[in-house]
Each structure stands twice: as C-alpha cells, then as structure tokens.
C-alpha cells in the first residue's frame, strides 16, 4: 500500500509543472506552459501537502501529511515516516517499518520517481484538456484533466490550478481500481534556505537501519 501511495505522489509532483504535453485544446497548453516557465525561474520549491486516499469498496478514507523540496533533479521527500532523497545521481530510501535504507542509482526510466526532473521537463505522455473554470472561497481555479496516452493504472489526473498564481493547488489521481488519490498543496514556498548536503542522506542519522546498496 505504501508503495502505491509514493508512486501516486510521484505522478502529482511530476506533473505540477508539466509542459508541452499533447493537448486537446490550445488554452490548456498555454496554461501548462506558463506554469512550467514560472517553475523554472525558482532555485527550489517546497511543497507541504495533504494526501487523501478514498477506497469506497473497502471503506477506506484516510489522510496524511507530507513535505517535499525539489531543486532541479534533486529532491527530499518526507512522507508517512519515510524519507526518499536524491542528489540527481543517487537515491536513498529509508523505510522505518523495515528499518532499512536502500541505495540505488537514479533510473533513466520515464516511470522512475524523480519529481525534480519531471517538474521542469517536457512530457508528451499525456493529453490535457481545460474542463472549466471554477470559483471557491473567492479564488478562481482552472480545472485541467490529463489523460495518459498509453496504458496506466489510472484513467486520468485532475489538476486544480490557481488562475492568479499559476500554481497547481491540488491533483487527483483516478485509479482504474476505483481508488482515488488526492494531493492538496497546503503551502507552496520558493527559494527556501537549505543546507548544502540537504539532498544527500546522512547514514549516521539512521544508525539502527540496515543499509542495502543496490548500485
């Protein structure tokens, strides 16, 4: 279950600044291109988010909070007690339940979990369509749906985008198994101060964990 949660998280943050997607309408493309161009002007971006999974068939409705900082190909994710850190070349993944740290090389696979790379790169794996503009609590949002061009475990992703700020404020993944994953951005910070080694896991901080080097 945790693997599914982390992978669906990758979908959302990988698509927050999607650009040059194969689109159904010109307006959707213009909006996505503007979001991507804006994201590239920042040194880094920090997201504090709430994750919600709804599985009506199994009477599950749960919410959790997480944080991720993205800087180019580098990222530092704290989610469900797990830490996943990458310096763009190496990925460290800490699982507190297994008390284990896995170390691996960054994969060049397009499905690999790398929100930093996807955040500012082009993606032609989705068709996108501007569905409507809505207003909630005085704030206007674009509603854009992304449809995978090839077979995926989900049918679409719906993005709620602040019209004024040109920021993705939530993303909902509609699984083909009727499970719905929603990520809501609670705080969107840019150019935050971070330590020089922020994107490298210090193994000394996890002295009780077994280290599995898969490189």
Helix (H, G, I), strand (E, B) or coil at 3: helix
Local confidence band at 98 (pLDDT 50, 70, 90 cut-offs): very high
Query: Which pTM does this prediction carry?
Result: 0.79
CA distances from 81 to 51, 84, 173 (A): 13, 10, 22
Angle 113-115-121 (CA atoms, 0-180°, nearest 5)?
A: 115
Counting residues of the chain whose pLDDT is more than 90, the rounded percentage is: 44
Q: Determine the pLDDT at residue 189.
A: 93
Q: Determine the pLDDT at residue 11.
A: 55
Domains of the chain in start order, with CATH, are: 2-213 (2.50.20.10)
Query: What is the C-alpha to C-alpha distance for residues 78 and 69, in angstroms, rounded to an integer?
Result: 9
Q: 21-25, 160-164, 198-202 — which one is most confidently predicted on average?
A: 198-202
Residue labelled with tokens 């929100």: 115
Neighbour-count burial for 54-77, b at 16+ CB within 10 Å, e otherwise: ebeeeeeeeeeebebbbbebbbbb
Q: Determine the pLDDT at residue 146.
A: 85
Query: What is the C-alpha to C-alpha distance for residues 62 and 55, in angstroms, rounded to an integer?
Result: 9
């Amino acid at each position: 279950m945790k693997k599914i949660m982390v992978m669906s998280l990758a979908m959302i943050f990988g698509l927050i600044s999607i650009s040059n997607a194969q689109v159904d309408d010109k307006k959707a493309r213009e909006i996505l291109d503007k979001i991507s161009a804006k994201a590239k002007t920042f040194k880094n971006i920090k997201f504090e988010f709430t994750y919600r999974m709804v599985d009506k068939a199994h009477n599950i409705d749960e919410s959790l909070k997480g944080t991720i900082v993205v800087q180019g190909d580098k990222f530092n994710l704290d989610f469900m007690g797990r830490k996943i850190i990458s310096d763009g070349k190496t990925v460290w993944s800490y699982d507190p339940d297994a008390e284990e740290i896995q170390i691996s090389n960054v994969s060049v696979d397009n499905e690999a979990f790398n929100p930093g790379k996807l955040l500012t790169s082009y993606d032609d794996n989705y068709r996108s369509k501007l569905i409507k503009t809505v207003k909630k609590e005085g704030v206007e949002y674009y509603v854009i749906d992304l449809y995978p061009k090839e077979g995926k475990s989900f049918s679409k992703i719906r993005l709620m985008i602040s019209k004024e700020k040109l920021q993705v404020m939530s993303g909902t993944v509609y699984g083909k198994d009727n499970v719905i994953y929603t990520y809501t951005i609670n705080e969107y910070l840019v150019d935050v101060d971070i330590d020089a080694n922020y994107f490298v896991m210090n193994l000394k901080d996890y002295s009780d964990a077994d280290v599995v080097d898969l490189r």
